[in-house]
């Protein structure tokens, strides 16, 4: 699954109430829930495509409670750095704490988050970002243009650029300008028409406060930091001052790392978790027959690339690349292994 999709676990699921489609987008296309509907009673759902094995997923939103989520892929190098996560589970954690200027919704449409508007000039060489007024970080500090400039400069630091640097394109860093407390001018050295789309990859483009310290998480997201043990577990509590009125629904989110899918499945079936996602087809099919678990499958925009270094052997040989293409049943993969 692509890393940016894992970030949706935070930005759409827990911050906006649970959408069935978005839960799956964040966790990889298939998910399993402990029976009883508690996850949806705590978070809420919206109508979306996909199939369920029970009707529990249609419950109305109810406030309060703790959601215990399991995920794989973490380790001792796990991070809470808003702009420099290493794994998909990093994205899940970071998504509880931070927000970007823009994002994509469940329909694949760009929507404004921290930004009220982002507009280019006629040549797309100068962009103007206008922030929503009244947004604060978890420590109570107001979000301002200075934070946007600091975030961009941190991502694009020439000495140690972060993963989102390439996405932001050829910004003229020396001439970033604060117009007023809520407005930033972003100049480019050449036209850059895709900035809005690139900024939507919020896994790399989250906005952080001036002087940001990753070891002391402070964001504008729906949940605040409570605890974090790399490779083990992280806990986040409801942000009572979240800028999206009435959200989030949950009081607490606990994300637990698992070394492998089998141990995660065992924890779900033992009642130690409320939900897991991103599971393989074999595990999903086995859970469908478990009356103690509700399963959900949905189309997903996530993908897992097979990247070849064409400047090095053996993939510098086009025949090898062609052989790999012929060896893969692409229709089978496109249809989710069916």
Interval 88-133: pLDDT, tens? 788 889 999 999 999 988 777 899 999 999 999 999 999 999 999 9
Asked if residue 200 and residue 111 are part of one domain, the reply reads yes
What pTM value is reported for the model? 0.77
Which stretches of 106-170 are assigned E, i.e. beta strand? 110-112, 115-120, 126-131
141 within a domain of the structure (yes/no): yes
- Across 146-160, 194-208, 209-223, least confident range: 194-208
Q: Which residue has the higher pLDDT, 264 or 86?
A: 264
Report the alpha-carbon distance of residue 299 to residue 317 in Å, rounded: 35
- Across 10-24, 196-210, 235-249, least confident range: 10-24
Burial of 22-49, coded b for 16+ CB within 10 Å and e otherwise, reads bbbbbbbbbbbbbeebbbbbbbbbeebe
Q: In CATH, what number is assigned to the domain containing residue 120?
A: 3.90.76.10
77 within a domain of the structure (yes/no): yes
305 within a domain of the structure (yes/no): no
Picking from 205, 240, 274, the residue at the C-terminal end of a domain is 205
pLDDT-derived band at 312, boundaries 50, 70, 90: very high
Tell me which residue range forms the domain holding 337. 311-338
Cα dihedral 102, 103, 106, 110 sign:
positive
Averaged confidence pLDDT in the chain: 82
Q: Based on the structure, what is the number of domains in the chain?
A: 3
Structure tokens that stand for 255 in this block? 């994300």
Q: In CATH, what number is assigned to the domain containing residue 244?
A: 3.40.190.10
Asked if residue 167 and residue 122 are part of one domain, the reply reads yes
Interval 30-65: pLDDT, tens? 556 654 333 332 333 322 333 333 334 445 778 899
229 within a domain of the structure (yes/no): yes
Mean pLDDT value of segment 280-286: 85
214 within a domain of the structure (yes/no): no
User: Does residue 1 carry a pLDDT above 70?
Assistant: no
Asked if residue 188 and residue 109 are part of one domain, the reply reads yes
Asked if residue 110 and residue 91 are part of one domain, the reply reads no
Picking from 174, 205, 236, the residue at the C-terminal end of a domain is 205
37 within a domain of the structure (yes/no): yes
216 within a domain of the structure (yes/no): no
Collect all residues with Cβ–Cβ distance below 8 Å to 329 and sequence separation of at least 6. none
Interval 138-194: pLDDT, tens? 999 999 999 999 999 999 999 999 989 988 999 999 999 999 999 999 999 999 999
Asked if residue 292 and residue 245 are part of one domain, the reply reads yes
Asked if residue 140 and residue 52 are part of one domain, the reply reads no
Asked if residue 185 and residue 119 are part of one domain, the reply reads yes
Report the alpha-carbon distance of residue 196 to residue 199 in Å, rounded: 5
């Amino acid at each position: 699954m692509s890393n940016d999709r894992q970030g949706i676990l935070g930005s759409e699921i827990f911050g906006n109430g649970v959408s069935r489609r978005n839960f799956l987008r964040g966790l990889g296309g298939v998910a399993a829930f402990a029976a009883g509907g508690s996850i949806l009673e705590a978070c809420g759902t919206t109508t979306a495509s996909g199939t369920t094995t029970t009707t529990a997923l249609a419950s109305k939103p109810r406030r309060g409670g703790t959601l215990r989520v399991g995920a794989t892929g973490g380790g001792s190098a796990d991070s809470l750095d808003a702009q420099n996560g290493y794994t998909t589970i990093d994205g899940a954690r970071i998504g509880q704490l931070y927000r970007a200027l823009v994002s994509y919704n469940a329909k694949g449409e760009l929507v404004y988050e921290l930004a009220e508007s982002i507009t280019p000039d006629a040549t797309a060489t100068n962009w103007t970002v206008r922030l929503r007024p009244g947004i604060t970080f978890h420590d109570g500090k107001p979000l301002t243009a200075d934070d946007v400039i600091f975030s961009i400069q941190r991502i694009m630091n020439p000495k140690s650029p972060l993963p989102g640097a390439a996405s932001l394109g050829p910004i003229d860093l020396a001439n970033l300008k604060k117009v007023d407390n809520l407005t930033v001018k972003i100049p480019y050295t050449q036209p850059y028409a895709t900035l809005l789309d690139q900024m939507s990859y919020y896994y790399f483009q989250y906005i952080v406060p001036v002087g940001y310290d990753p070891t002391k998480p402070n964001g504008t997201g729906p949940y605040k930091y409570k605890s974090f043990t790399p490779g083990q577990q992280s806990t986040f509590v409801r942000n009572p001052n979240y800028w999206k009125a009435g959200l989030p629904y949950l009081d607490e989110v606990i994300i637990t790392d698992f070394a492998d899918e089998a141990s995660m499945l065992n924890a779900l079936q033992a009642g130690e978790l409320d939900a897991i996602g991103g599971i393989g087809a074999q595990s999903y099919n086995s859970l469908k027959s478990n009356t103690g678990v509700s399963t959900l499958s949905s189309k997903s925009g996530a993908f897992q690339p097979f990247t070849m270094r064409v400047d090095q052997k053996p993939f510098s040989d086009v025949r090898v690349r062609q052989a790999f293409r012929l060896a893969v049943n692409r229709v089978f993969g496109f249809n989710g292994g069916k």
